[in-house]
């Protein structure tokens, strides 16, 4: 019997030509000192079915040791080892598959910090990887697949399967799984609405409480607080208690905040309108919250409720009611603006600009927006920049536009940052500077961005303007912009493909 443990590198070298165990042992000897050599030897042994080598090769791919990091390749080798009964490989496979699924779900392309390599957003592939992880017992995989099943992304919508997976994830105590609270909250929502399970609002309330106990922060806790508030306000599954409902509503905003009821109802309306903080997007519920805030005199709530009536979103379309609400909001805003309320000055400027509740008046709009902007209101500064940039009721003045955009961008306004980037890109109102333009476009993408910002970023990568030319990055951002509805991005992507085809022929 060969004593592998006490053999030196020199002893192992001749045996490692063919013997997989010798290859594995030699790879271990090289270890940290020469990871690329270790990987080469692990690969030879793994190819011959050596289970420990397959596991080690997976580890090297997982962490990028001596080889380009690839969670997909890591999963491939973990699966090989797991199929031979390797327990550590089975656990690692589950984690790896869940990570790859998450990368595909969000479209993970980090140029500055490459984690998974270039992965384009693909919900179908995300579902495939999440399913592999779930089948291997990963709570991350169960949770990820459940969300896709609930929302019908990449798979056919299936509330019953989603509920079963949420239940498993909610009960998991898996290390480094931080979404048990959100899984419990989402399962509670299914019980609350009777989707995929028999409607049971008492059980829903139990799950919402569990979510609060398991996760004091994040969307799971915030969503659970909100739904518990609904339960207590309506007496759904619990004894009706309006005061306690208000406590949970406040908690749902992320912290137990001391704000007025009007501000609370308006914030809840915004959350329902946009689907933020663990809420489902629900314009009808948003309208109800805005109505409650409006009854307490909240100016912005009146304005938002007016827009919902104007568009017929969540309420029956009623232009006359919209106009009444706009006029009431305008009257309140005018009083507050004259008293020096900066937010009211901005709102009044926007009302005059849009003709909401008053006659459209660009000169009056400029006066009030300037007052708010001089007091540091970022949105007012952005709007002033746009008035100068587009010549809206004023002569075009790119220098003034760039200055106001710069002020608003300095306070983190995303739209202003994008337009400041355009000024630098085109040399309008400032000296042309592709480097500064690229920085602005990159900042907008870091904040989420939009189709125009992503298109501008892609163009910089394509032409090497302000950044090293990178066609892979250009393709990625053009695809993202096209998916967000920008036809120019789709044309640019087509042109890139055609150019690459011609260069390769």
Inter-residue contact 465 to 457 (CB < 8 Å): no
pLDDT of residue 287: 95
Inter-residue contact 123 to 148 (CB < 8 Å): yes
- pLDDT cut 70: percent of the chain above it: 93
What length does the chain have?
505
Inter-residue contact 477 to 458 (CB < 8 Å): yes
Lowest mean pLDDT among 63-72, 118-127, 163-172, 415-424: 118-127
- Asked if residue 266 belongs to a domain, the reply is no
pLDDT of residue 113: 32
pLDDT in tens, 40-67: 999 999 999 999 999 899 889 888 888 8
Tell me the mean pLDDT in the region 226-236.
Answer: 90
Backbone angles phi, psi at 358, to 5 degrees: -160, 170
Where does the pLDDT of residue 7 fall: very low under 50, low under 70, confident under 90, or very high at 90 and above? confident
Query: Full-prediction pTM beyond 0.85?
Result: no
Task: For residues 159 and 171, give the distance between their C-alpha atoms in angstroms, rounded to a whole number.
Answer: 18
Task: For residues 257 and 299, give the distance between their C-alpha atoms in angstroms, rounded to a whole number.
Answer: 20
Query: Does residue 218 carry a pLDDT above 70?
Result: no
- pLDDT cut 90: percent of the chain above it: 48
Of 125, 192, 180, 184, nearest in space to 154 by CA:
125
Q: Check which CATH number belongs to the domain holding 428 and give it.
A: 1.25.40.10
pLDDT of residue 110: 40
Domain boundary among 157, 174, 206: 157
pLDDT of residue 480: 85
What contacts 28, CB < 8 A, 6 or more positions away? 38, 56
- Asked if residue 240 belongs to a domain, the reply is no
> What rounded mean pLDDT belongs to the chain?
87
Pair of tokens at residue 193: 């609405």
Top-confidence range, 80-94, 264-278, 311-325: 311-325
- Asked if residue 322 belongs to a domain, the reply is no
Domain boundary among 157, 183, 216: 157
Termini Cα distance of the chain? 59
Query: Does residue 259 carry a pLDDT above 50?
Result: yes
pLDDT of residue 170: 93
Helix %, strand %, coil % of the chain (to 5): 70, 0, 30
pLDDT of residue 112: 32
Query: Does residue 445 carry a pLDDT above 90?
Result: no
- Asked if residue 439 belongs to a domain, the reply is yes
Tell me the mean pLDDT in the region 275-302.
Answer: 88
pLDDT of residue 119: 60
pLDDT in tens, 312-371: 999 999 999 999 998 898 888 899 899 998 988 998 999 899 888 888 899 999 999 999
Region of 355 (left: φ > 0; alpha: ψ -120 to 50; beta: rest) is left
Q: Check which CATH number belongs to the domain holding 36 and give it.
A: 1.25.40
Give me the domain span that covers residue 447.
376-490
Where does the pLDDT of residue 15 fall: very low under 50, low under 70, confident under 90, or very high at 90 and above? confident
Angstrom CA distances, 173 to 208, 227, 288, 480, stand at: 18, 24, 38, 36
CB neighbourhood size of 505 (10 A):
5
Tell me the mean pLDDT in the region 465-491.
Answer: 88
Query: Does residue 460 carry a pLDDT above 70?
Result: yes
Task: For residues 474 and 109, give the distance between their C-alpha atoms in angstroms, rounded to a whole number.
Answer: 11
* Number of domains the chain contains: 2
More confident residue, 149 or 29: 149
pLDDT of residue 111: 32
- Asked if residue 5 belongs to a domain, the reply is yes
What contacts 62, CB < 8 A, 6 or more positions away? 69, 71, 74, 92, 96
CB neighbourhood size of 279 (10 A):
22
Angstrom CA distances, 67 to 45, 62, 480, stand at: 16, 9, 29
- Asked if residue 313 belongs to a domain, the reply is no
pLDDT of residue 215: 65
- Asked if residue 243 belongs to a domain, the reply is no
Tell me the mean pLDDT in the region 174-180.
Answer: 85
Tell me the mean pLDDT in the region 132-137.
Answer: 90
pLDDT of residue 502: 66
Query: Does residue 257 carry a pLDDT above 80?
Result: no
Where does the pLDDT of residue 255 fall: very low under 50, low under 70, confident under 90, or very high at 90 and above? low
Inter-residue contact 103 to 114 (CB < 8 Å): no
Per-residue DSSP letters for 306-365? HHHHHHTSSS---HHHHHHHHHHHHHHHHHHHHTT-HHHHHHHHHHHHHTSSS---HHHH
Where does the pLDDT of residue 463 fall: very low under 50, low under 70, confident under 90, or very high at 90 and above? very high
Tell me the mean pLDDT in the region 466-488.
Answer: 88
Query: Does residue 467 carry a pLDDT above 90?
Result: yes
Tell me the mean pLDDT in the region 107-132.
Answer: 66
Top-confidence range, 70-84, 421-435, 447-461: 421-435
- Asked if residue 333 belongs to a domain, the reply is no
Domain boundary among 98, 122, 157: 157
pLDDT of residue 104: 82
Task: For residues 249 and 255, give the distance between their C-alpha atoms in angstroms, rounded to a whole number.
Answer: 10
């Amino acid at each position: 019997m060969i004593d592998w443990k006490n053999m030196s590198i020199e002893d192992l070298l001749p045996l490692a030509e063919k013997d997989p165990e010798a290859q594995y042992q030699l790879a271990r000897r090289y270890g940290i000192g020469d990871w690329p050599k270790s990987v080469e030897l692990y690969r030879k042994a793994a190819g011959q079915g050596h289970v420990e080598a397959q596991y080690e090769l997976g580890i090297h791919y997982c962490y990028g040791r001596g080889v380009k990091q690839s969670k997909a390749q890591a999963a491939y080798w973990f699966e090989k080892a797991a199929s031979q009964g390797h327990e550590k490989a089975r656990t690692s496979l589950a984690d790896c598959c869940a990570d790859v699924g998450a990368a595909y779900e969000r479209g993970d392309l980090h140029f500055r910090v490459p984690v998974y390599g270039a992965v384009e957003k693909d919900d179908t592939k995300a579902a495939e990887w999440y399913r592999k992880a779930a089948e291997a017992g990963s709570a991350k995989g169960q949770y990820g697949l459940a969300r896709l099943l609930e929302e019908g992304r990449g798979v056919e919508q299936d509330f019953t399967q989603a509920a079963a997976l949420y239940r498993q994830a909610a009960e998991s105590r898996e290390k480094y799984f931080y979404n048990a609270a959100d899984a419990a909250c989402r399962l509670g929502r299914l019980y609350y609405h009777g989707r995929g399970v028999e409607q049971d609002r008492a059980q829903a309330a139990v799950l919402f409480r569990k979510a609060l106990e398991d996760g004091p922060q994040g969307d799971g806790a915030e969503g659970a607080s909100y739904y518990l508030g609904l339960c207590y306000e309506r007496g759904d599954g619990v004894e009706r208690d309006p005061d306690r409902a208000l406590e949970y509503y406040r908690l749902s905003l992320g912290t137990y905040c001391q704000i007025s009821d009007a501000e609370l109802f308006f914030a809840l309306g915004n959350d329902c309108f946009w689907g933020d903080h663990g809420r489902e997007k629900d314009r009808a519920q948003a309208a109800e919250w805005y109505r409650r805030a409006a009854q307490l005199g909240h100016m912005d709530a009146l304005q938002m409720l007016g827009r919902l009536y104007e568009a017929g979103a969540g309420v029956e379309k009623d232009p006359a009611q919209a106009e009444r609400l706009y006029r009431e909001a305008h009257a309140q805003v005018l009083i507050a603006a004259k008293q020096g309320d900066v937010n009211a000055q901005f709102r009044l400027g926007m009302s005059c600009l849009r003709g909401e509740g008053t006659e459209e008046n660009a000169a009056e709009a400029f006066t009030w927006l300037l007052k708010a902007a001089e007091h540091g209101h970022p949105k007012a500064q952005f709007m002033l920049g746009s008035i100068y940039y587009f010549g809206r009721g004023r002569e075009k003045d790119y220098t003034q536009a760039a200055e106001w955009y710069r002020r608003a961008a300095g306070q983190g306004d995303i739209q202003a940052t994008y337009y400041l980037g355009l000024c630098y890109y085109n040399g309008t109102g400032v000296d042309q500077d592709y480097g500064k333009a690229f920085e602005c476009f990159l900042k907008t993408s870091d904040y989420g961005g939009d189709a125009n910002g992503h298109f501008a970023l892609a163009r910089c990568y394509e032409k090497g303007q302000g950044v090293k030319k990178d066609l892979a990055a250009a393709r990625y951002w053009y695809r993202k912009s096209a998916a967000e509805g920008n036809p120019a991005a789709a044309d640019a992507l087509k042109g890139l493909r055609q150019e690459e085809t011609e260069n390769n022929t």
